[in-house]
């Protein structure tokens, strides 16, 4: 099954969607025959991923390990809906990934904070982007900051 770049309407629908009611907990993330080929204009295509397939159970913790340049970040970006695969199927919570799924978050290697925002305001960015009720999520954000040892720093700025 070929993947395609999602349009605006489909991406908006995917953000607000809930997991399919008949989701198999043993198949929370499914990747089948995933390929990614980068096709630059002035050089030969690069095959970043070829025939990747795996399944992850809901709540399972896995690690992706490999040498630099083997496609780890490319695969994670596809799972997060940030870039499309060239071929294959990727499903999260029973739905084909056609944009960033609400169940998926990604933390990049380099810290990407908005320096004009406080720690709490940076944590709340996804709440703003998804137009959720900030009052509901502010308490949860505080608990998450405490979990990583940042309680008391909510009002601080990046230095």
Q: What is the mean pLDDT of residues 13-41?
A: 76
Tokens of 116: 């004009």
User: By C-alpha distance, which of 29, 14, 28 is closest to 82?
Assistant: 14
Tell which CATH architecture fits domain 8-96.
3-Layer(aba) Sandwich (3.40)
| The residue count for the chain | 159
- pLDDT of 29-73, one tens digit each? 999 999 999 998 999 999 999 999 999 998 898 899 999 989 999
Tokens of 26: 């043993």
Domain boundaries, the chain: 8-96, 111-154
Rounded Cα–Cα distance for residues 1 and 12 (Å): 22
Q: Can you give the pLDDT at residue 59? A: 87
Q: Can you give the pLDDT at residue 88? A: 97
- pLDDT of 123-148, one tens digit each? 998 889 888 999 989 999 999 999 99
User: By C-alpha distance, which of 94, 100, 96, 144 is closest to 119?
Assistant: 144
Rounded Cα–Cα distance for residues 133 and 156 (Å): 23
């Amino acid at each position: 099954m070929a993947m395609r770049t999602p349009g605006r309407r489909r991406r908006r629908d995917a953000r607000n969607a809930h997991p399919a009611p008949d989701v198999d907990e043993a198949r929370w993330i499914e990747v089948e025959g995933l390929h990614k080929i980068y096709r630059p204009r002035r050089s030969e295509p690069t095959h970043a991923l070829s025939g990747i397939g795996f399944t992850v159970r809901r709540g399972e913790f896995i690690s992706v390990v490999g040498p630099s340049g083997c496609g780890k970040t490319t695969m994670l970006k596809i799972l997060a809906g940030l870039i499309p695969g060239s071929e294959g199927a990727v499903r999260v919570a029973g739905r084909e990934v056609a944009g960033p799924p609400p169940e998926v978050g990604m933390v990049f290697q380099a810290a990407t904070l908005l320096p004009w925002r406080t720690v709490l305001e940076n944590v709340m960015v996804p709440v703003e982007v998804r137009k959720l009720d900030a009052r509901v999520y502010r308490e949860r954000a505080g608990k998450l900051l405490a979990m990583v040892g940042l309680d008391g720093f909510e009002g601080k700025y990046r230095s």
